[in-house]
Structure 1
Amino acid sequence: MTVAVSGSTSPAQQSAPDFPIFCRPLFAGFPVVFLLWLVLCQVAIVTPVHAAENVFTSTTAIKEETVRFAGEGTLFLKGPVDPYLTGTVVTAGLFGLTYLFDEKIRDEFAGSHHGVMRGVTDAGNAVSNPLLHLGVAAAFYGTGALTDQVKVMQLGEEMGEALLLADGATFVLKGVIGRGRPYQVDSSTSYRPFQFKDGYDSLPSMHTASSFALAHVFADKTDNFYGKAACYAAAGLAGFSRVYQNKHWASDVVLGAAIGELAGAAVTRYRSAPAGSVTVAPMAIGGAPAVALLGKF
């Protein structure tokens, strides 16, 4: 491991974006989120007041959502060992192999980006915006609640829950690990852990995690092979775009994809569990350690 040292500006640093990390996604996704908001407002105006029970109007719905999300979170945390231990080993091997070639992969995509690939990866970056994804999930949930379409509302719930798990995990890991982004540092082994610095939040890729979480939720809704393939192809484009445009190392994308898939799987597994299934989760009551039984009854 090496530590980044201030000095002359490297070519990678010169290509750093003008906006801070948390501003860029907001600007990129704002037009689409705003459009979705307008559509939702229009639905609210013309729809009779027969809204389905939801977290905006019902304390019961809030309690149910809290229990459900806790159960999904427990499955998410246990997932790498149970039941996906083999997948975890394979992912670790792929991550390690990609990590060794991170700098070569970056150099392969270095240079002037233009033409078709530039346009494709610009689109990939735009549609993989985590804030945009949350806006879409909120639009599905709100529209379903207002129009009393329970399936639409539940799809929004699943999307939102998977995104919160994936984005929350990657947000924490980014700051804790503190890996330098490829446009910020020359070496793929430059770290500033626990400093939560802009430009040192590369590992894992949140855009990729968010995209794969949504891909899993949507793929779970269809039995058609081509439909599932399309979902994951879109998520894969998101990851490729982050590497191609020098936003992330390739290994950042590998880990992000694994986290997103794990988050999506936790949500769909919990919802498909038969009634009566339970899981144990740690908790605290009045500051004292305890355990809770979470499940569907």
Structure 2
Amino acid sequence: MRPIDYVVKLIIITVFISGPIIKAQEKNKDSLTTTWELLKYDGVSAFGGLKKTYSQPIRWQKDDFLTAGAIVTGTAVLYIFDDEANEWFRNQEDDVPMFIQDFGWYYGSPQNNYAVNGAVYLYGLFTRNEKVRRTGVLMISAATTAGIIQSILKTAVGRARPKEGAGKGDFKPFSSEPNYHSFPSGHTILSFTTAYALSKQFENPFVKAGILGVGLIPPASRLWEGAHWFTDVGLSLALSVLVVDSIDNYLKRERDYGKNEIEGISWNFQVGLGRIGITGRF
């Protein structure tokens, strides 16, 4: 299947699963506001989220330092098992259906990821729906913020990819060789940032789990291919969560997108004579 086919399908899927958000929210109350004014407001919001995240460390409190310490400690623990984890994941590659492997690659690629994020945002912009617009702003701002961080770290750290044949401790800082850009994982950061940002808009745990599960396919595919070590993926997941939460809190506190509460999806289990089923109400 051609890459463009995946992009189109990803956009359709994303807009479809965004439907519950769209139906649950009111449209922008100020009908006199032009689309251009909304676009400018959202641009400021996205950039403000980026600035807030980058400046956050200077305002860290005790709990923030404890969180950072836990992430560093967790990464160090994963490092111990990098070789064993790499061997295990590489042995699974032949058993993974090709369409899942392809999905992992295309969904985590920057151009496809931004196509999905852009589709959500533009839908909210042109339907003048505050909550969908906010979701799109969160997804785009978080992907950009985390993407810049991972691009800088990849070059600065210069860690060898597993498939290079070098060990987990082989580093060439500031190397221009792609095979020494393993840490962290760009595919993981982009895919999981988008999935986590979208999942926060739902209260139903099954919906959340489904969205997050899709977001974990690209990280797994990179491990199957030997493109990243387990620590690369683990740190990338943690980074994605921190960035999304930081920008989400900024949008709640400092930007006006109406009520922050989003109506969840209710599920009813129905049993009757000769029938059994589950009905979802959006």
TM above 0.5: yes
Task: Please point out which of 130, 152, 155 is paired with 2:132.
Answer: 152
1:52–1:147 contact (8 Å) kept in structure 2: no
Specify the code of the residue in structure 1 equivalent to 2:7. Answer: V
Query: Is 1:202 aligned to 2:182, yes or no?
Result: yes
Q: TM-score, normalised by structure 2?
A: 0.71
2:79–2:230 contact (8 Å) kept in structure 1: yes
Task: Please point out which of 166, 184, 191 is paired with 1:186.
Answer: 166
Corresponding position of 1:222 = 202
| 1:17-61 CA-partner distances (Å, limit 9, x unpaired) | xxxxxxxxxx985433367889xxxxxxxxxxx996456886565
Q: Matched residues in 1 for 2:168 and 2:74: separation?
A: 16
Corresponding position of 1:263 = 243
For structure 2, the 5+ residue unaligned runs are 13-30, 257-282
Corresponding position of 1:84 = 64
Q: Which of the pair is proportionally richer in helix?
A: 2
Q: Matched residues in 2 for 1:69 and 1:195: separation?
A: 27
Mark the CA change 1:117 to 1:154 in structure 2 (over 3 Å): closer, same or farther: same
Specify the code of the residue in structure 2 equivalent to 1:149. Answer: N
| 1:103-130 CA-partner distances (Å, limit 9, x unpaired) | 2222233458334455433333332333
Corresponding position of 2:109 = 129
Q: Matched residues in 1 for 2:185 and 2:59: separation?
A: 19
| 1:239-294 CA-partner distances (Å, limit 9, x unpaired) | 22211221111110011111111111111111122689xxxxxxxxxxxxxxxxxx
Mark the CA change 1:162 to 1:35 in structure 2 (over 3 Å): closer, same or farther: same
Three-state SS of the structure 2 residue aligned to 1:183 is helix
Within 5 Å, which residues of 2 pair with 1:39-58?
53=34
Specify the code of the residue in structure 2 equivalent to 1:157. Answer: V
Three-state SS of the structure 1 residue aligned to 2:93 is coil
Three-state SS of the structure 2 residue aligned to 1:258 is helix
Mark the CA change 1:52 to 1:263 in structure 2 (over 3 Å): closer, same or farther: farther
After TM superposition, give the deviation of residue 92 of structure 1 in Å.
1.6
2:108–2:186 contact (8 Å) kept in structure 1: no
Specify the code of the residue in structure 2 equivalent to 1:207. Answer: H
After TM superposition, give the deviation of residue 140 of structure 1 in Å.
1.7
Mark the CA change 1:113 to 1:68 in structure 2 (over 3 Å): closer, same or farther: closer
1:52–1:146 contact (8 Å) kept in structure 2: no
2:142–2:244 contact (8 Å) kept in structure 1: yes
Specify the code of the residue in structure 2 equivalent to 1:143. Answer: Y
Q: TM-score, normalised by structure 1?
A: 0.68
For structure 1, the 5+ residue unaligned runs are 1-26, 39-49, 277-297
Aligned-residue Cα RMSD (Å) equals 3.3
Judge which range, 193-202 or 161-170, deviates more: 193-202
Task: Please point out which of 140, 146, 156 is paired with 1:166.
Answer: 146
Mark the CA change 1:119 to 1:29 in structure 2 (over 3 Å): closer, same or farther: closer
Corresponding position of 2:7 = 33
Query: Is 1:236 aligned to 2:216, yes or no?
Result: yes
After TM superposition, give the deviation of residue 156 of structure 1 in Å.
1.2
After TM superposition, give the deviation of residue 158 of structure 1 in Å.
1.0
Q: Matched residues in 2 for 1:111 and 1:58: separation?
A: 47
Specify the code of the residue in structure 2 equivalent to 1:169. Answer: I
Say how many residue pairs are matched: 239
